[in-house]
Amino acid sequence: MTTFNSKKVAIVGASGYSGEELVRLLLSHPHAELTAVTSRQYAGQSVAQVFSKFANHPRAKEVRFSEPKAELLAKQAQTVFLALPHGVAAEYAVPLLQFGCQVIDLSADFRLKSTAVYKEFYAHDHPAPELLAQAVYGLPEIHRAEIKKTTLIASPGCYPTSVLLPTIPLLKTGLVKPTGIIADSLSGVSGAGRKVEQEFLFVECNESVRPYGVPKHRHLSEIEQELSLAAGTEVTIQFTPHLIPINRGILTTLYLAPAEHFSDSARMNAFGEKLSACYQQAYCNEPFIRLLEGKALPDTKNVAGTNVIEIAWRLDPRTGRLIVISAEDNLLKGASGQAVQCMNIMCGFPETAGLV
C-alpha cells in the first residue's frame, strides 16, 4: 500500500454552494487536512455552526472560519482553493503564489488566455495578467499533464465542463466540423450560487423553466477558447442556458455537424463506429466519464452527488446531424469535485481520492 503525505489545504470564500461542497469533500479527503476556511460573514464560527449538516464530522467543530488573509493562509496551508467572485480571486492568488502555495481558483479569473476577451466578457481589466501564462485550465481529461506541473489551476465553469468534455474529442479527431455548433443547456438553481435575489426564490423557480443570458453568456468565452484549441481553428458557438427547478445538475444537448455525409445506413453505421471509437479512445480509462451505450440517455439524477459526467450520442439520418448529450452535477464535476480532482493530480494523490 502506497502512503501519501497529507497536504494542508485551505478554502477562501467558503460560504457559497461551491465552497460548501469543497468543505464537505476536503473534510473527508484521505490525504488532505483542512486547516483553514475563510468567510467575512462567518468569521469566528466553526464549520459545525455554519453548516450544521457537517456538524457530526469529527473536525467540524475544530475548524473555524476566519477573515481571509493571504499571509496567514500561506502559513496554514500548502494548497489553497479560491471560491470567490471573479476579480476578487486574483487578489488572493497573487500573494498566495508568491508565498509558495498551490492555488486552485474556482472563479473565472485565470481561465482565459486573452486579457482582451476577459475584459469583453467580465467588463473590467484583468487583475493579474502576469499570471495567465502559468495558469492551467483545470479540465483533467484534457490538460492532465499540464495540471501536474503547475501551481495555478483555473478550475472550469460548470457549463463549459458540460460542453467541452463531449465536444473536444470530436473536434480533435476532426469527426465534426468546427462550425455551427449549438449547445443548449439546462441548469439546476444552485448554479446561480447562494444569491439572495427575487428570481431565485423557491416560488419563482418552482413550476418554472426559463432561458436567460441569451445570446451572450459569460461562459462562452472559455468554451470557445478551449474548443478553438482543440479544433486548431477559431470556433464560435451558440449557447443557451436555461434555469430548471432542480437543485443540482446540468444537462447539455449539443447539435453538431458530422464531417461526413451519410446518405445510407451503411455509411451512417460506419460513422457511428468511428464516433464510438473516438470516445472510447479518449475516455475509456477516465474514472469520471461514463459513456452511455445502448438505449440509455443522460439523466442528471444519475450523476447528482458524484464527480461523474455522463455522455451519450445519436446520429440523425433525417437531418445528418450528430446530437450529443451530457449530464453532470454542476457543483461537483462542474465545480468543486473537479477542483479536488485537480488537487489530486497536482499533489500526486490517486486521482479519485476523496471523490468516490
What's 209's DSSP letter?
-
Active-site pick, 158, 205, 342, 347: 158
255 binds its own copies (CB under 8 A): yes
Q: Is 347 a catalytic residue?
A: no
| Shortest Cβ 112–its own copies spacing (Å) | 16
Q: Which of 36, 103, 308, 346 binds its own copies (CB under 8 A)?
A: 308
Region of 263 (left: φ > 0; alpha: ψ -120 to 50; beta: rest) is alpha
Nearer to its own copies, 270 or 296 (CB): 296
| Shortest Cβ 122–its own copies spacing (Å) | 17
Please name the residue that has the C-alpha cell 467572485.
Answer: 85
| Shortest Cβ 169–its own copies spacing (Å) | 18
Total residues at interface with its own copies (CB under 8 A): 76
294 burial level (CB within 10 Å; 0-12, 13-18, 19+): exposed
Q: What sign has the CA pseudo-torsion 145, 150, 151, 152?
A: negative
| Shortest Cβ 135–its own copies spacing (Å) | 25
Contact 112, 118 (CB under 8 A): yes
Residue 249 CA neighbour count, 13 Å, CB half: 17
How far separated are the first and last CA of the chain, in Å rounded? 18
- In whole angstroms, give the CA distance from residue 97 to residue 258: 43
| Shortest Cβ 98–its own copies spacing (Å) | 35
Window of 84-92, 93-101, 162-170, 199-207 that interacts with its own copies by CB under 8 A: 199-207
211 binds its own copies (CB under 8 A): yes
14 binds its own copies (CB under 8 A): no
Looking at residues 172 to 191 of the shown chain, list those that interact with its own copies (rule: CB under 8 A): 182, 184, 186, 188-190
316 binds its own copies (CB under 8 A): yes
Q: Which of 51, 107, 108 lies closest to 84, judged by CA? A: 107
C-alpha grid cell, residue 16: 457559497
Q: Which of 33, 91, 204, 351 binds its own copies (CB under 8 A)?
A: 204
Looking at residues 15 to 44 of the shown chain, list those that interact with its own copies (rule: CB under 8 A): 17, 28
Task: List residues with catalytic annotation.
Answer: 158
